[in-house]
Amino acid sequence: MAGDPRHGAAAGYRGRPMDAAGASALWRGRGLAPAARLTLRASRRDEARSQGGYDPGVDDRAELLHAIRTGAVVRGDFVLSSGQRASWYVDLRRVLLAGRYAPIAGRVMLAATADLSYEAVGGLTLGADPVAAAMMHAAARDGRILDAFVVRKGEKAHGLQRRIEGPDVAGRRVLAVEDTSTTGGSVLTAVSALQEAGAEVAGVAVLVDRGAGARITALGLPYRAAYSQPDLGA
C-alpha cells in the first residue's frame, strides 16, 4: 500500500479538518493528470484561504511528508555517510530539487526554525545546498532577506581559496542545515568551519532527523528537525 499514490495522499492529509464535501472533492482529483491536480489543489487552497480555513504550516508539512514518503524513501542495503549500515535510505534530493516541492520545503524549514534568530543559512555541500536555497527563496517570497552560503568539504586550493562560499558570515548569526543526519557529522563539520570563520551559529536544523539530535544538543546547540524517522514510516 505504501507505493500506492492514492493511499499516500490519504495518509498525507490525515488529521486535516474537512467536511464531507471537502473530502469528496479531494478524492475526485485523484484521476486527473498531474498538471490538473496541481490546478485543483491550488483552487482548493484559494477557497480555503478565503474562508479562513487554510493553515499553511499544516498543509505544507503534510504535502511535503507525502512527497518524501512516496518519492524519497528507498529500501535496500545501504552504507550511510556516517559509515553505518541501514535497510532504508532517504534521498531527499529527489524532493528538494523538484520544482513542485522545493518551495514547500523552504516554507516547512522556515516554520520549523521560526523560534531561532538568524540572517544566513547553509551547511556542508552537497546535502545542505538545496535546503539552504529553498529557505532563501521562501523567505524572499515573504519579504524577508535571508542569505545562503555553501561550506566546502575542504579548503579551496585556487582562486580566492574560500572555505565558505557566498556572502561573508563573519560576525553574523547563521543557521547550519542539512537534508538528513544520523550522527551529526556533516553538519557539525559545517558548524566548526562557520565558527572558525567568525560566525555565530544560532542552531542546527535538518529536514529529516535520523538520530543526530542528542549529539548536537549535547554541544549546546539548538536543534530543529521538520520530520523524524517515525514520520517516514521507516
pLDDT digits (tens, 9 = 90+) for 142-198: 999 999 999 999 876 666 679 999 999 999 999 999 999 999 999 999 999 999 999
pTM: 0.74
pLDDT per residue as tens digits for the range 16-62: 333 333 333 332 333 445 455 445 455 555 554 455 444 555 699 99
Phi, psi angles (nearest 5°) of residue 94? -65, -25
pLDDT of residue 43: 54
Query: What is the spatial distance between Cα 133 and Cα 97, in angstroms, rounded to a whole number?
Result: 10
Query: What is the spatial distance between Cα 120 and Cα 117, in angstroms, rounded to a whole number?
Result: 10
Q: How far is CA 231 from CA 68, 86, 135, 195, in A?
A: 10, 17, 21, 32
Answer whether 25's CB lies under 8 Å from 9's CB: no
